[in-house]
Chains A and B, each alone.
Chain A
Amino acid sequence: GQNIDQPTEMTATEGAIVQINCTYQTSGFNGLFWYQQHAGEAPTFLSYNVLDGLEEKGRFSSFLSRSKGYSYLLLKELQMKDSASYLCARGSSASKIIFGSGTRLSIRP
C-alpha cells in the first residue's frame, strides 16, 4: 500500500535466518519502521531507521539504504513465536506513519 512494496508471504524454518525486503517511494521520506503484528493484535514496534546502515537489536536487525529506497528486516535464530506479519512503514509528513501491506511469515519446525 501507498508505494511500499514487500512480499506477501514467506516461509522459513525454526532456527534459521530470514530476510524480509521492503522498497518504498523516496519522496517525502522521514524514516523507515518495522512492526510485528500477530493476528488480531495491534502492531508492536521493532525498529526505526533514519540513517543508512544496519542496526542490530538482539535477534532482529534492520537495514536502510535511502538512495535506493530499500530496507530489510533480518530475523535470526527463528522461533515458532516469530510467526506473524511484519509491516514495513515509512514516516510521512505531520508525524504520520504509512504502512505497507505486510509480509506474513510462517515458521515451520
Chain B
Amino acid sequence: GAVVSQHPSWVICKSGTSVKIECRSLDFQATTMFWYRQFPKQSLMLMATSNEGSKATYEQGVEKDKFLINHASLTLSTLTVTSAHPEDSSFYICSARDPQGGGPYEQYFGPGTRLTVT
C-alpha cells in the first residue's frame, strides 16, 4: 500500500513553454502533498505544501506565479512550471501524507520527474 505515482517520469521542453507534472496517491487519500526540487548532487529542497481544496503554501524564495500548484482532489496534485527556462531543469519529487498513517510525518514519495528545459 501507500503508493505515489508521478507523471511524466521525464520531460524535455523548450524554453518559454509550460510543463505540468502530476502527483497521484494511488491507494490512499492525501489531504496534503509536498513538492520538492533537487538539483544534481544536492539535496531535496521543499518548494511548497499543497493542501486539498485550498491554496498552496510556498517556501521562502519560491515564486508562486511561476510554480503553479493545484490540489483539486484528494488523490491528485499538479505542479505547473510556467515559462520554463534552462535553470528550471531539475528533478521534481512529490510526496503525499496519509492522514490515516502512523503520524504527522508519514509521507510517501513519488518516483520523481526529470525536467530538462532546452
Contact = CB atoms under 8 A, between A and B. Distances in A.
Interface residues of A, number: 22
B35 to A, nearest CB: 11
B49 A96 contact: yes
Contact of A97 (B42, B46, B110): B46
Contacts, number: 54
Interface string A31-63: 101000000111110001000000000000000
Contacts of A7: none
B112 A87 contact: no
B67 interface: no
B111 A91 contact: no
Contacts of B32: 95
B39 to A, nearest CB: 11
Q: Is the interface of B mostly helix, strand, loop or mixed?
A: strand
Contacts of B109: 42-44
Contacts of A96: 34, 46, 49
Contacts of A106: none
A96 to B, nearest CB: 6
Nearest to B44: A99
Given A31-B105, A91-B105, A101 B43 contact: yes
A87 B43 contact: yes
B43 A1 contact: yes
A48 B44 contact: no
Nearest to A100: B43
B112 A42 contact: yes
Interface in B39-71: 41-46, 49, 57
10 contacts: A1-B42, A30-B105, A40-B91, A42-B112, A91-B104, A95-B105, A96-B49, A97-B46, A97-B107, A98-B46
